[in-house]
Amino acid sequence: MAIDHDILISGGGVAGLTAAALFGTAGFSVLLCDPTPPVTSGDDEAADLRTTALLQPARDLLEESGLWSRLAPHAAPLQVMRIVDAGGEIAEPRVSREFDASEITSGPFGWNLPNWLLRREMVARLSELDTVTFRPGIATTTLLTREREAIVGLDDGTRVRCRLVIAADGRTSPMREAAGISVSTRRYGQKALAFAVTHPPPHDNVSTEVHRTGGPFTLVPLPDRDGMPCSAVVWMEDGVEALRLATLPVPAFESAMMERSCGLFGPLTLATRRTLWPIITQVAERMSGERLALIAEAAHVVPPIGAQGLNMSLGDLRALRDLAVARPEGLGDRQMMETYHRSRHPEVKLRAAGIDALNRASQLSARPLRDLRAAGLSALYGAAPVRRMLMQMGLGARDAS
């Protein structure tokens, strides 16, 4: 029987929407399904208030997907990364290190954008592509694969034949589970609060990460809001404390933020709702199965440190797209799926292990260990070659020499 689409993408989060734009632009016929229609306004109660810092290498891929020209006018550049240790007796900066993107590249490290806005622009891009069929409100339910094709059952009772299934259906990926691919998961008893704040001084395109206990408190630049400088905040804390903070009355929450940010941006005013995200590290045992490729959180979940999550996902997509374009007649076959797994899995495991170590260092609450962290930060970031290497790794460069 004839196939219905070259590619079925299960999951229309930011990763699945990007995948549809990328493969649709490359000329493949794509069906994208998601049971939850995308929320494309920041004022909607269900809006994803996280922001995504897209690092330099992401830009090329977004350009090739026809997305960058839509996103650029809304993007806040990230020129300087500042890391502050405030693990002493009182909440004040002890060690502060700044890394300027100009040390390694001509542009900024990357650009920050709200997730709801990414969704809005991505959905608009898909409507321009006659290669892409987007079916919001429809879930994938079953997966049957053979040597030559995959058959995916949808919850409206229909079945779709395709050559490649891309699972972009999140950390509990139904397509991954249907294929019987297991995951290893590390839990930290930790949650992240995500929201936006306004503050009196300008952020000057500096992203600031403050370490004390419980996890980092990170401010990432956003465009001005109501004429005030604005930043996105990710505040990681032990779970119980995070829940308490999430329900504090706003004035008490604002003074807790002022203390935790060491007053670096003056008084912080809460500009949005607070949303809570559980923090885990999770890596699938394989990146592929028969006629199936796992991408993004279906394949790897990492704590939100160093903006790695979606940027790793775009690395998955780049690898998949390059393989598909190099040998379109082999789309989804055993050779392509095996090459994809082997090209991505080692890097994904390495990055997940690195971010896990950073997160555990940031959670430390015992004083001597906190002192050690501050000394380490000071020594490590002092030497220029080490700084350059770390910054290049942050950008996803393979060769950090």
Nearest distance from C-beta of residue 54 to ligand FAD, angstroms: 7
Cβ of residue 386: shortest distance to ligand FAD, in angstroms? 23
- Near ligand FAD by CB under 6 A: residue from 139, 248, 256, 393: 139
Which one of 84-92, 284-292, 300-308, 344-352 is the stretch in contact with ligand FAD (CB under 6 A)? Answer: 300-308
Contact 291, 324 (CB under 8 A): no
Q: Please, what is the minimum distance in Å from the beta carbon of residue 92 to ligand FAD?
A: 26
Under 8 Å between Cβ of 314 and 57: yes
The yes or no reply on residue 234 touching ligand FAD (CB under 6 A) is yes
C-alpha–C-alpha distance, residues 143 and 175, integer Å? 7
Q: Following DSSP, what letter does each residue of 47-98 receive, concatenated?
A: ----EEEEEHHHHHHHHHTT-HHHHGGGPEEE-EEEEEE--SSSSS-SEEEE
309 binds ligand FAD (CB under 6 A): yes
**Binding-site size, ligand FAD (CB under 6 A):** 33
Beta bridge partners of 195: 233
Q: Which of 5, 50, 125, 341 binds ligand FAD (CB under 6 A)?
A: 50
Q: Which amino acid is at 156?
A: D
Residue 356 host element (H or E): helix 334-363
Say how far apart CA 24 and CA 130 lie, in whole Å.
Answer: 8
Position among 56, 133, 140, 272 found at the interface with ligand FAD (CB under 6 A) = 140
Amino acid at 152: V
Candidate segments 90-98, 163-171, 209-217, 345-353, binder of ligand FAD by CB under 6 A: 163-171
Name the minimum Å distance from CB 251 to ligand FAD: 24
CA-CA-CA-CA torsion sign (232, 235, 236, 239): negative
Does 270 bind ligand FAD (CB under 6 A)? Our answer is no
Give the residue, chosen from 4, 26, 29, 35, that forms a contact with ligand FAD under the rule CB under 6 A: 35
Q: List residues binding ligand FAD (CB under 6 A).
A: 10-16, 33-36, 50, 52-53, 139-140, 168-170, 174, 192, 194, 234, 277, 296-297, 304, 307-311, 313
